[in-house]
Structure 1
Amino acid sequence: MEAGSGSGAQVAPVLDGFLLRGRATPTPRQLAEVGVHADSLSEVTALEFLRAMKRTSYDILVLALVGGGVQAILHGLKRIWEGRTERPVVVTGYVGVVYEKLADGLLLRHGADLVLANSRQDAERFRAVYEGVGADASSVTEVALPFLGGAPYTGEHDPYTVVFAAQPSVPENRRDRTYLLDRLVRHARLHPEREVLLKLRSKPGEHTTHIEELPYQKLVQKLDPPPNFRLVYGNMGEVLDRTDLMVTVSSTAALESLHRRVPTVVLTDLGVREALGNHHFVGSGCLASWDQLDAGHRPAPDEAWVARQGVAVAGPPSGGGSYATAFDAARERIGKALNGPGGLPPLTPYYTPATAPGYLPGILARHHLGPDGSPLPGAPAADRDPGPVRQIVRRAARGAYRHGVQRVAPVIRRMGEL
């Protein structure tokens, strides 16, 4: 979550960051790779965040959370801002490809002033969902993927570099992940003149939004990869700077690669299935198998398909294009909201105790909020800042939880399958 204040040439904007405490709280390494540095950064619970929003004034509030977290914060903000017309503009959306839980995720984000759609296709789908349930769709705002950039691909590097972008939860079983890793290593052996990189999102012990129970780092230990095979971490943009062929199952990295016109393949080896997310790329011209890649196949993306994904705005290979203006509509809407007469109306999420009485209370309770967005009785740290001892205990408990999720739980599950 981010909150910003200050506007105009005379006042430098201030960016405060709040990290919602949980299993996906980013590590310092992951935060450093974002490339945006906050003036202040703190790790908070939902209740601590709401307390900060009650006592501090901001212009813009960006909720960069999973759907349930967005919905809980929206209801909490609605309660603490009751009777206020001067409040921040609340913005949320998605960071990458939306290929699963479309209706569920969208309705959990409903109620924000702006719900950002990363492409024309997403904007159309988002509006259709909201209008289909009778919810206000005016918040949907078309932009582009927020992390695109870098120089367009101009030709092969020396050595020719193949990158496989791994995902923490796709595919999820050991057999399929081992198969993909084996084919990647086999490709490296078949092409010793190439550099073959396995791009990983997180190091052991780190978490992203999705829990990774079978990290490739562990699986590769049972293989004997050739010298031209390496594991890499870090910013995807920096890896793409030296990539000649991007390979993935369904990672958003494919869209980053297409934006820069790097040859991009979405694998069909495990089928084209909704569970894998590669069905999103039907019609892209990028679907292919490892057998085809081993034989030298180079994909050619369908330009019409790419244009609908919010990535073709990079322009032709020579550079230029309209990506720099892709966010102008959102900026204009935010400016009008901040400067409009009478202030902003109350937040009005679609989900209420009347529309979803069997669903919403559980979403809110996970963040110690009642059905009306107020703190539940006995909620931790609802009215005071945590002391140093409490902070130490929290860090220890969080470390134990992460260890249990990533190390202990998978072992117990495998034992249960014996």
Structure 2
Amino acid sequence: MGSAAPRAVVLADSDSRWKWAALVARRIAPDHAIDARFLRSGTAPSQRQIDEVGIVPDTTATLDYTDVPTDPAVSAADVVVLGTTGGTMLTMIHTLGRAWRDHPSRPALVTGYVGVIYENMVDGLLLRCGSDLVLANSAHDAARFRDVYTSLGIDPAGVVETALPFLGGTPHDPGAAGRDRPFTVTFAVQPSVPGTKAARLSLVRHLARHARLHPDREVLLKLRNQPGEAVTHTERFPYQELLRSLPDAPPNLRPVYGDMGSVLDRTDLLVTVSSTAAVESVHRSIPTAVLSDFGVREAHGNHFFVHSGLLTSFADLDAGHVPTVRPEWAAEHGIGRADPYRAARERLAHLRDGGPLAPPRPFYTPERSGDYLETLVGRRGFALDGTPLTGSPTAARPPALKRIVRRGAGHLYRFGRNRLAPAVRRWQQG
């Protein structure tokens, strides 16, 4: 399969998907060189976001969608890990499969999920169908995936139970607080949950109240991105700005950036609405609170934690309550497992030992679902036969451009509202 020196290509289109895919590549193919390929889009990660993961690629390039099938590194790889949206995964499985039809061998294709799955499971699974490994983050997910595939006549052998690849790090030391640092509460933000400005401002005020009630604690607002950086999900009301809008923010409440693992190293209580950071925190035995203040809702994703014992409110936290995870829930969701990627490595070795791989077999084909497939691949610059659309290097750029324009318009609006308008009013009043 591929070149003599084993290589893994990581194809990513955002910060969180780069992190997931790069760490997966390192877990399933630890002896492989890594070639990073970033899709040119409005969510492409910055160099800081790339570096933050801690994996240094051997080569790096930024590609249009239509460049991927002809990239020599992709064709010569032993493994290709797709860290993209589901629609892009299917597009790559479809177009790469067509591009490799006359090749004597092809790379193994790996897909999975960046975080916990709380919606659109069937939709996502069928978009990943045709990859050689579909990674499930727990036994619970693996059973659901296999059931869906079997019911639709799809071979479930490619579904492999693993865990989120960033689970690890140093176990929590409860004695560190008070010995060499203050008790630290970290709130892990999400770009779109909760989504309204009122809810997000209320959350910042809750954190400020908690910091005032507990002046001996350090309260950290863990931010995803520096101002101007893109993220997987658009953030309409950045917490940086909301925190600056507080007239009397307590000194023991402050924002922090950086890798979540580094922040968890000094965290004694992790608080979130539904961030995947909660799973990482539980894995390290760090007390973890999933907030119910904004509702326990499928739309928020915190319904995933209903049976965990972690759901609580700011009022309880202010009163000193510290939730305890239910061990059976943690075990069911793949938390705390030793070497969860062993089965994936074995599956990859089995594929490699079996000779050239058969062509990928997506569920969506031109014959079965031509209208849907044509829409998905067309958005990314391909015709239904897998060739680039005539006269357009990529059809994915207009939506990305729209996102850039929308983000730029938001920055201009906030600049006008927060900086320019007050200056004009002062000038008029003076």
TM-score category (smaller protein)? 0.7 to 0.9
| C-alpha separation in 1, matches of 2:197 and 2:72 | 44
Greater mean alpha carbon deviation, residues 201-210 or residues 237-246: 201-210
Please tell me whether residue 380 in structure 1 is matched to residue 393 in structure 2: yes
| C-alpha separation in 2, matches of 1:64 and 1:122 | 18
* Counterpart residue number, 1:210: 233
Please tell me whether residue 66 in structure 1 is matched to residue 79 in structure 2: no
* Residue 409 to residue 356, structure 1, CA distance change in 2 (3 Å): farther
The aligned runs of 1:33-48 (5 Å cut-off) are 33-48=52-67
Higher helix share: 2
| C-alpha separation in 2, matches of 1:399 and 1:210 | 13
The CA RMSD measured in Å over matched residues stands at 2.5
Tell me the alpha carbon deviations over residues 307-348 of structure 1, each in whole angstroms, 9 at most, x when there is no partner: 1112122xxxxxxxx2xx21111111111111213x110001
* Counterpart residue number, 1:80: 99
* Counterpart residue number, 1:49: 68
| C-alpha separation in 2, matches of 1:255 and 1:55 | 32
Q: Secondary structure at the match of 1:358?
A: helix
Greater mean alpha carbon deviation, residues 201-210 or residues 249-258: 201-210
Please tell me whether residue 190 in structure 1 is matched to residue 213 in structure 2: yes
8 Å CA contact 1:46, 1:367 repeated in 2: yes
8 Å CA contact 1:91, 1:116 repeated in 2: yes
* Counterpart residue number, 2:195: 172
* Residue 305 to residue 381, structure 1, CA distance change in 2 (3 Å): closer
Count matched residues: 386
4+ long deviations beyond 4 Å: 53-56, 397-403, 409-413
* Counterpart residue number, 2:352: 338
8 Å CA contact 2:34, 2:58 repeated in 1: yes
Tell me the alpha carbon deviations over residues 44-67 of structure 1, each in whole angstroms, 9 at most, x when there is no partner: 011111111588411111111110
Greater mean alpha carbon deviation, residues 129-138 or residues 246-255: 129-138
* Counterpart residue number, 1:6: 5
| C-alpha separation in 1, matches of 2:74 and 2:206 | 55
* Counterpart residue number, 1:267: 291
* Counterpart residue number, 1:389: none
Please tell me whether residue 238 in structure 1 is matched to residue 262 in structure 2: yes
8 Å CA contact 1:54, 1:81 repeated in 2: no
Q: CA deviation at 1:91?
A: 0.6
* Counterpart residue number, 2:280: 256
- Residue 332 of structure 1 aligns with an amino acid whose one-letter code is E
Q: CA deviation at 1:139?
A: 1.3
Please tell me whether residue 28 in structure 1 is matched to residue 47 in structure 2: yes
* Counterpart residue number, 1:135: 154
| C-alpha separation in 2, matches of 1:402 and 1:221 | 25
Normalising by structure 1, report the TM-score: 0.87
Please tell me whether residue 152 in structure 1 is matched to residue 171 in structure 2: yes
| C-alpha separation in 2, matches of 1:374 and 1:398 | 20
| C-alpha separation in 1, matches of 2:74 and 2:280 | 39
Q: CA deviation at 1:133?
A: 2.9
* Counterpart residue number, 1:126: 145
8 Å CA contact 1:4, 1:15 repeated in 2: no
| C-alpha separation in 2, matches of 1:123 and 1:18 | 28
Identity of aligned residues (%): 48
* Counterpart residue number, 2:22: none
* Residue 165 to residue 4, structure 1, CA distance change in 2 (3 Å): farther
Tell me the alpha carbon deviations over residues 2-48 of structure 1, each in whole angstroms, 9 at most, x when there is no partner: x997349xx96321110011111110000011111110000001111
8 Å CA contact 2:136, 2:159 repeated in 1: yes
Normalising by structure 2, report the TM-score: 0.85
One of 310, 319, 342 as aligned partner of 1:286? 310
Q: CA deviation at 1:179?
A: 1.3
8 Å CA contact 1:15, 1:39 repeated in 2: yes
| C-alpha separation in 1, matches of 2:4 and 2:302 | 39
8 Å CA contact 2:69, 2:75 repeated in 1: no
8 Å CA contact 1:92, 1:116 repeated in 2: yes
